[in-house]
Amino acid sequence: MMGQQDGSQDRLFYSFNLDEHVPRDHLLRGIDQVLDLRELRAQLAPFYSHTGRPSIDPELILRMLIVGYCCGIRSERRLCEEVHLNLAYRWFCRLELDAQVPNHSTFSKNRHGRFRTSDAFRQLFESVLRRCMTEGLVGGEGFAVDASFIRADANRARGVERGQVPKWENPSRAVREYLEGVEATNPVASDDTELPSERNISLSDPAAHWTAAPGGPPQYAYSTNYLIDLDVGIIVDVEATPANRSWEVESTKVMVDRVEERFGLKPRRLVGDTAYGSGAMLSWMVKEKEIAPHVPVWDKTQRKDGTLSSNEFTWNEQANEYRCPEGVSLRSERRNFTEPRDHVTKADTIIYRSRKQDCAGCQLKQRCCPNTSIRKIARSVHEESRDVGRAIGRTPEYIDSKRQRKKVEMLFAHLKRILKLDRLRLRGMSGARDEFLLAATAQNLRRMAKRLLGVQGRTAAAI
Ligand code: SF4
């Protein structure tokens, strides 16, 4: 017999237990078990007044933000609607069935106000990381580092071209923050504040860099930099930088130092791609931090025209010279100077030269320096560290590290495709920092929930 609903929805009282309606294997159940916001609440307390009307519970806003970042809900307005309608979201936010969901403008006030001033998002990230460490998910033996461009919330057409000076009437929060930053590094600035002229500047978000990913169109973007532990891929630090390689590489030092200082974690090896293989970076890893560099070394010493490459010359550290295959010395200086000179060039190299009279009658001249009277070799001041990197590059361990490096790339793919963070919603460097911290926190929470509780629900499947 075909059933039919009676269609009446006018009952006044229901017996309803929210908890019973959230599936046992729901991702948010797993996250709820590993999330503890009590410490953060205590840290936020000094930023609230002791008198007046009680504010919206900061824990509620943080829980709603976690729902948004864990479930890829990017719009604050939509997040409020979803929390209002979705029982699991309501349950996670500890809201009763008839409780009021905060207005979307409350997010903006808290994000740009107390949460930013109190550095709440970093504290949240660190408290989640601490829990990951307690649960044994962070080995600390090997870290991997990488960066990924994230588009800024800035129209490509709304910018001024390189060399032009932008004029802002009614500068937005992001513009004010940018100008304050420029003034801080240029104290004589006034109305004629000297702005960086080497790139296009966005009128909406001037801190974003005009850049292009390989094969992609140019756009305004920031970089999110991840430092991850290689055991199960927990993100141990995250840093927002302009989308620029040199900033990305520098942020590695900040992250490695911070993780060591805050958590006492120092890896034995650091895995990265070619961007991290400059001589200066290798030297920082090997000499300053005593970390094994599992990164490809930038090497342009191999010649492709058939002439002798510099690795066919023998280096003698004690004599501070190269010897060519004919046994002739190449030196950086051949006489004693009254004032000792280091001979270091702007490119951080020292040039070693043979003597004209040695090369003139040499049988290898055509294979060594066919177009010049002498042979020159530029030796990096970081050559020792580069040699360490090259030696590691020939080990089976390095092959493993290369494979493990994919873990950080997968986290970026997950960030963009599942968490839908391929474009920022907040502007300015502090907006990028807040978004990247929350997204990394969400990724760690999802991973921890899956690992510890075996959460295999629909929403957890893509962790
Ligand atoms: S050309 Fe000069 S540097 Fe080159 S192999 Fe001959 S002697 Fe040595």
The 3-class SS string of the chain reads: CCCCCCCCCCCCCCCCCHHHHCCCCCHHHHHHHHCCCHHHHHHHHHHCCCCCCCCCCHHHHHHHHHHHHHCCCCCHHHHHHHHHHCHHHHHHCCCCCCCCCCCHHHHHHHHHCHHHHCCHHHHHHHHHHHHHHHCCCCCCCEEEEEEEEEECCCCCCCEECCCCCCCCCCCCHHHHHHHHHHHHHCCCCCCCCCCCCCCCEECCCCCCEEECCCCCCCEEEEEEEEEEECCCCCEEEEEEEECCHHHHHHHHHHHHHHHHHHHCCCCCEEECCHHHCCHHHHHHHHHHHCCEEECCCCCCCCCCCCCCCHHHCEEECCCCEEECCCCCEEECCCCCCCCCCCCECCCCEEEEECCHHHHHCCCCHHHHCCCCCCCEEEEECCHHHHHHHHHHCCCHHHHHHHHHCHHHHHHHHHHHHCCCCCECCCCHHHHHHHHHHHHHHHHHHHHHHHHHHCCCCCCCCCC
* pLDDT above 80: residue 142: yes
Tens of pLDDT, residue by residue over 361-413, are 899 889 999 889 999 999 999 999 999 999 999 999 999 999 999 999 999 99
**% pLDDT > 90, the chain:** 48
63 located within any domain = yes
Q: 230 lies in a domain? A: no
Domain boundary among 353, 380, 407: 380
- Give 325 Cα–ligand 1 centroid separation in angstroms: 7
CA of 297 to the centre of ligand 1 (A): 27
Reply yes or no on whether the pLDDT at 95 is more than 50.
yes
Q: Residue 163: pLDDT above 60?
A: yes
How high is the pLDDT of residue 198? 58
**Mean pLDDT value of segment 48-72:** 85
Residue 42 lies in a domain: yes
Is 189 within the bounds of a domain?
no
Mean pLDDT on 308-327: 90
Count: domains in the chain = 2
Minimal-distance CA residue to ligand 1 atom 8? 324
What is the atom index within ligand 1 of the atom nearest the CA of 358? 7
Q: Is 426 inside a domain boundary? A: no
Average pLDDT over the chain, rounded to an integer:
86
Cβ(358) to ligand 1 under 6 A?
A: yes
Does the beta carbon of 328 lie inside 6 Å of ligand 1?
A: yes
* Range with the poorest average pLDDT among 122-131, 199-208, 258-267, 324-333: 199-208
Residue 349 lies in a domain: yes
Question: Is residue 80 domain-resident?
Answer: yes
Last residue of a domain, one of 380, 413, 438: 380
Minimum-distance ligand 1 atom for the alpha carbon of 374: 2
- The Å distance, Cα 371 to ligand 1 centre, comes to 12
At residue 462, does pLDDT exceed 60? no
Q: What percent of the chain has pLDDT above 70?
A: 94
Q: What mean pLDDT do residues 261-289 have?
A: 93
299 CA to centre of ligand 1 in angstroms: 22
pLDDT bin (cut points 50, 70, 90) of residue 455 is low
Q: Whose CA is nearest to atom 7 of ligand 1?
A: 359
pTM of the model: 0.86
What digits encode the pLDDT tens for the residues 204-213?
Answer: 888 888 888 7
* Domain final position from 325, 347, 380: 380
Q: Which atom of ligand 1 is nearest to the CA of 359?
A: 2
pLDDT at 134 over 90: yes
* Range 106-114 average pLDDT: 79
From 355, 375, 376, 377, mutation site for ligand 1 pocket: most ligand atoms within 8 A of C-beta: 375
Residue 239 in any domain: the answer is: no
Q: Rounded to the nearest whole angstrom, what is the distance from the C-alpha of residue 369 to the centroid of ligand 1?
A: 7
Residue 230, pLDDT > 90, answer yes
452 lines ligand 1 (CB under 6 A): no
Domain that holds residue 92: 18-127
Q: How far is the CA of 81 from the centre of ligand 1 (A)?
A: 76
Q: Is 326 in the pocket of ligand 1 (CB under 6 A)?
A: yes
What pLDDT is attached to residue 400? 94
**Closest ligand 1 atom number to CA of residue 368:** 4
Q: Which of 47-61, 313-327, 330-344 has the highest mean pLDDT?
A: 313-327
Query: What is the mean pLDDT of the segment spanning 129-147?
Result: 94
